[in-house]
Structure 1
Amino acid sequence: MLAVISPSKTQDFSTPDIHDHTFTRQLDESKVLVNILKDKTQSELIKLMSISEKLATLNYGRFQDFSTPFNFKNSKQALLAFKGDVYTGIDVPNLSKKDLEFAQNHLRMLSGLYGVIRPLDLIAPYRLEMGTRLENPKGKNLYEFWGDKISKVLNEDEPEVIINLASNEYFKGIDQKALKAKIINIAFKEFKGDKYKIIGIYAKRARGLMVQYIIKNRIKNPQDLKAFSMEDYRFREDMSDSTTWVFTRG
């Protein structure tokens, strides 16, 4: 079983206390994208990414400074670098070495720049959302660039089931026809007004909480996820089917 999540635009590249690390498996593809982005002006980055001048300056510098091989001066393990609501839910600072070892085998992050990332893979700081319409040798956007490459790497990990805890933007990066594993989508809903609905900020944190639950409880069987009850969520058999499991609160 593999859980997949989205990356985070918020990142922390202070020197890590943990030195165990691996390297991303699609770095050649990353270099192709970085070389395209290195040729962009700051004004072009503002338009391409819909970001402020300040963020364009930051990311222009990141692309210009991008270099390999990765080391602890220019990169950091992905799970330790990403911040934001999902990663707050995972409670990364309190994961033990054994927790990280389990996560390395059962958690993947999807990235517009790096493709499939394992928790201990070193990454350099970046911003490149999967939905970015970046022209490249394969087409007009990153979905066309990645094609079935993300699915092929996930197939190498040989999961029987993939637990989808990623956003739609990132999960679309997986060519599901090329994927061998069964997919179970997870939806977190809040009771608002007179019905249950997905509320982005709560859903992001809940995805992280479920990842924490998977890691801390060493869950390998998807059926065990139905017992998830952190922060008052509960599995709703009556609202779920074989491909989408719904958890509600309120």
Structure 2
Amino acid sequence: MLLVLSPAKALDFTPPETLAPLSAPQMSKDVAELAKVTRKLTARELKGLMSLSDNLAALAHERFQAFDPKSPDGLQAAFAFNGDVYMGLQARTLDASALEWAQDHVRILSGLYGVLRPMDVIQPYRLEMGSRVRTRRGSSLYDFWGDRIAKVLNEAAAGHADRTLVNVASGEYFGAVDRRALKLPVLTIRFLEEKDGEARIVSFFAKRARGLMARYAIDNRIDRVDGLKDFDLAGYSYQPSRSSGDEWTFARRQPVPAAA
């Protein structure tokens, strides 16, 4: 079983309190090629591509100018990403054994790096997968990555007894996985909030829940999808009546009890 997450726009490059293993991103040739393109983008172009403020566009431009695909410097991806998903994952609190398990069972999709393992070292960047960056491969990052991401995921799951790809990424990022090239069964997880008789997806809570599910799988060493049905963190529970064979739904009631 392989879980895939989205990255985060927010970053925290503060070193972790304890030493953790380092690994190099696997799609380095593609990263180097894409970095040549992003380095040429102006702050104004980045602002338009990702709907950024002037300050964020300037920061993104500065980071691309400093980006060196050959540099070993940086921080492990699971520690560096600092958005809602990673508030749920809490990777900095994982011990060595848990990080080793995560390295084999968790992947992070990235606009710049393609596919990352948790301990792959990254440099600061911002490049959203939906950006229409023109390269020699096409007019968007989806064109640039083509079937490459799917092939890397196929290889990552090759030795697993259960080769299911568990999609806990956003639609924007999972859209970069070429389903024609993917040779794995896909299970998509969604999280609902129930209030006043209605159930709906709330982005903030759904992102946090995706990280929580990855953390639950890591802590319990769940390597077959059936084990995910017992996920009960933060008040969520599996909803068989709202689920199908390739999409499972978890829901909780709002407001969430303090104990959850």
TM-score (norm 2): 0.93
- Could you say what secondary structure the match of 2:41 adopts? coil
Q: What's the counterpart of residue 2 of structure 1?
A: 2
Amino acid paired to 2:235: D
Q: What's the counterpart of residue 39 of structure 2?
A: 38
The alpha carbon displacement at 1:70 in A equals 3.0
- Could you say what secondary structure the match of 1:180 adopts? coil
Q: What is the CA–CA distance in structure 2 between the aligned matches of 1:31 and 1:14, rounded to whole Å? A: 25
The alpha carbon displacement at 1:19 in A equals 4.2
Say which of 192, 203, 207 aligns to 1:204.
Answer: 207
Q: What is the CA–CA distance in structure 2 between the aligned matches of 1:230 and 1:179, rounded to whole Å? A: 30
Q: What's the counterpart of residue 14 of structure 2?
A: 14
Q: What is the CA–CA distance in structure 2 between the aligned matches of 1:238 and 1:44, rounded to whole Å? A: 46
Q: What is the CA–CA distance in structure 1 between the aligned matches of 2:20 and 2:219, rounded to whole Å? A: 21
Q: What is the CA–CA distance in structure 2 between the aligned matches of 1:188 and 1:149, rounded to whole Å? A: 29
Q: What is the CA–CA distance in structure 2 between the aligned matches of 1:80 and 1:10, rounded to whole Å? A: 11
- Runs of 4+ residues deviating >3 angstroms: none
Q: What's the counterpart of residue 169 of structure 1?
A: 172
Say which of 179, 182, 187 aligns to 2:182.
Answer: 179
Q: What is the CA–CA distance in structure 2 between the aligned matches of 1:68 and 1:3, rounded to whole Å? A: 26
- Could you say what secondary structure the match of 1:190 adopts? strand
Q: What is the CA–CA distance in structure 1 between the aligned matches of 2:50 and 2:10, rounded to whole Å? A: 15
The alpha carbon displacement at 1:118 in A equals 0.2
Q: What is the CA–CA distance in structure 1 between the aligned matches of 2:70 and 2:30, rounded to whole Å? A: 15
Q: State whether residues 31 and 69 of structure 2, in contact with CA within 8 Å, keep that contact through their aligned partners in structure 1.
A: no
Aligned 1:195-234 pairs, distance under 5 A: 195-234=198-237
Amino acid paired to 2:132: R
Q: What's the counterpart of residue 153 of structure 1?
A: 152
The alpha carbon displacement at 1:31 in A equals 1.4
Q: State whether residues 70 and 123 of structure 1, in contact with CA within 8 Å, keep that contact through their aligned partners in structure 2.
A: no
Q: What is the CA–CA distance in structure 1 between the aligned matches of 2:33 and 2:124, rounded to whole Å? A: 16
The alpha carbon displacement at 1:14 in A equals 2.3
Amino acid paired to 1:215: I
Q: Unmatched 5+ residue regions in structure 2?
A: 254-260
Q: What's the counterpart of residue 52 of structure 1?
A: 53
Q: What's the counterpart of residue 244 of structure 2?
A: 241
- Could you say what secondary structure the match of 2:189 adopts? strand
The alpha carbon displacement at 1:67 in A equals 1.2
The alpha carbon displacement at 1:191 in A equals 0.8
Q: What's the counterpart of residue 256 of structure 2?
A: none
Q: State whether residues 20 and 96 of structure 2, in contact with CA within 8 Å, keep that contact through their aligned partners in structure 1.
A: no
How many residues were matched structurally?
248
Q: What is the identity percentage for the equivalent residue pairs of Structure 1 and Structure 2?
A: 44
- Could you say what secondary structure the match of 1:23 adopts? coil
- Could you say what secondary structure the match of 1:109 adopts? strand
Q: Which moved more, 1:42-51 or 1:5-14?
A: 42-51
Distance 1:120 1:156, change over 3 A: same
Amino acid paired to 1:222: V
Q: What is the CA–CA distance in structure 1 between the aligned matches of 2:185 and 2:235, rounded to whole Å? A: 28
- Could you say what secondary structure the match of 2:245 adopts? coil
> Is 1:128 aligned to residue 127 of structure 2?
yes
Q: What is the CA–CA distance in structure 2 between the aligned matches of 1:92 and 1:145, rounded to whole Å? A: 30
Q: State whether residues 22 and 121 of structure 2, in contact with CA within 8 Å, keep that contact through their aligned partners in structure 1.
A: yes
Q: What's the counterpart of residue 84 of structure 2?
A: 85
Q: Unmatched 5+ residue regions in structure 1?
A: none
Taking only aligned residues, the RMSD between alpha carbons, in angstroms, comes to 1.1
Q: What's the counterpart of residue 63 of structure 2?
A: 62
- Could you say what secondary structure the match of 2:228 adopts? helix
Q: What is the CA–CA distance in structure 2 between the aligned matches of 1:105 and 1:70, rounded to whole Å? A: 24
Q: In the TM superposition, what whole-angstrom CA distance separates every residue of 1:69-119 from its partner, at most 9, and x where no partner exists?
A: 333xx3111001111111010122211111100100000000010001000
Amino acid paired to 1:112: G
TM-score (norm 1): 0.96
- Could you say what secondary structure the match of 2:190 adopts? strand
